[in-house]
Amino acid sequence: MRRLLLATCLVTWWAGAAFAADPAEVTRGKYIFGAAGGCGCHTEPKGQPNAGGKKFEGPFGTVYATNITPDKTTGIGGWTDEQIITAIRLGRRPNGERILPVHPFTSFNGMADGDLKAVVAFLRSVPPVSRKNTPKKITVPMFESVFLPAWLVTFAAKETPPAAAPVSGVARGEYLVRAVGHCGECHTPRSAMTMAVDNNRFLAGNPKKTGPEGQLSPNITPDKDTGIGSWTEDQIVTYLGTGNRPDGDVAGGLMGESIQGTLAGYKDMTKADLQAIAKYLKAIPAVKNKIE
Ligand code: HEC
- Spatial contact of 184 and 269, defined as CB atoms under 8 Å apart: no
Whats the size of the chain, residue-wise? 292
Amino acid of residue 212: P
User: How remote is the CA of residue 47 from the centroid of ligand 1, in Å?
Assistant: 23
- Spatial contact of 206 and 291, defined as CB atoms under 8 Å apart: yes
Mean local confidence (pLDDT), 205-220: 96
- Under the banding of pLDDT at 50, 70 and 90, the label for residue 3 is low
- Residue nearest atom 38 in ligand 1 by C-alpha distance: 181
173 backbone dihedrals φ, ψ, rounded to 5°: -60, -45
User: How remote is the CA of residue 187 from the centroid of ligand 1, in Å?
Assistant: 7
**Statement: residue 58 has pLDDT above 90:** no
Mean local confidence (pLDDT), 77-89: 97
**Statement: residue 14 has pLDDT above 90:** no
- Under the banding of pLDDT at 50, 70 and 90, the label for residue 156 is confident
- Residue nearest atom 42 in ligand 1 by C-alpha distance: 255
**239 ligand 1 Cβ < 6 A:** yes
**The CA-based dihedral angle spanning residues 155, 161, 162, 166, taken in that order and rounded to the nearest 10 degrees:** 90
What is the atom index within ligand 1 of the atom nearest the CA of 231?
29
**252 ligand 1 Cβ < 6 A:** yes
**Statement: residue 143 has pLDDT above 70:** yes
15 or 205, which is more confident: 205
pLDDT at residue 15, rounded to an integer: 47
Mean local confidence (pLDDT), 156-177: 94
Percent of the chain at pLDDT exceeding 70: 93
**258 ligand 1 Cβ < 6 A:** yes
User: For residue 30, with 0-12 CB atoms within 10 Å meaning exposed, 13-18 middle and 19 or more buried, which class applies?
Assistant: buried
- Residue nearest atom 1 in ligand 1 by C-alpha distance: 254
Mutate to test the pocket of ligand 1, among 255, 259, 290, 291 (most ligand atoms within 8 A of CB): 255
- Residue nearest atom 43 in ligand 1 by C-alpha distance: 255
Whole-number average pLDDT of the chain: 93
- Under the banding of pLDDT at 50, 70 and 90, the label for residue 211 is very high
- Under the banding of pLDDT at 50, 70 and 90, the label for residue 21 is confident
What is the atom index within ligand 1 of the atom nearest the CA of 219?
26
- Under the banding of pLDDT at 50, 70 and 90, the label for residue 9 is very low
Query: What are the pLDDT digits (tens) for 239-283?
Result: 999 999 999 999 999 999 999 999 999 999 999 999 999 999 999
**180 ligand 1 Cβ < 6 A:** no
- Under the banding of pLDDT at 50, 70 and 90, the label for residue 158 is confident
46 or 169, which is more confident: 169
Residue burial 230-267, b: 16+ Cβ < 10 Å; e: rest = ebeeebbbbbbbebeeeeeeebeebbebbbbbbbbbbb
Mean local confidence (pLDDT), 84-92: 96
Q: Count Cβ atoms below 10 Å from residue 18 Cβ, excluding itself.
A: 17
Which pairing describes strands 55-58 and 61-64: parallel, antiparallel, or unpaired?
antiparallel
User: For residue 201, with 0-12 CB atoms within 10 Å meaning exposed, 13-18 middle and 19 or more buried, which class applies?
Assistant: middle
**244 ligand 1 Cβ < 6 A:** no
Residue 282 contacts by C-beta under 8 Å, 6 or more apart in sequence?
222, 233
- Residue nearest atom 2 in ligand 1 by C-alpha distance: 186
pLDDT at residue 247, rounded to an integer: 96
- Under the banding of pLDDT at 50, 70 and 90, the label for residue 155 is confident
Mean local confidence (pLDDT), 203-222: 96
Question: Among the residues of the chain, which ranges form H helices?
Answer: 2-17, 23-35, 81-90, 105-108, 113-125, 148-155, 169-175, 184-187, 233-242, 253-260, 271-283
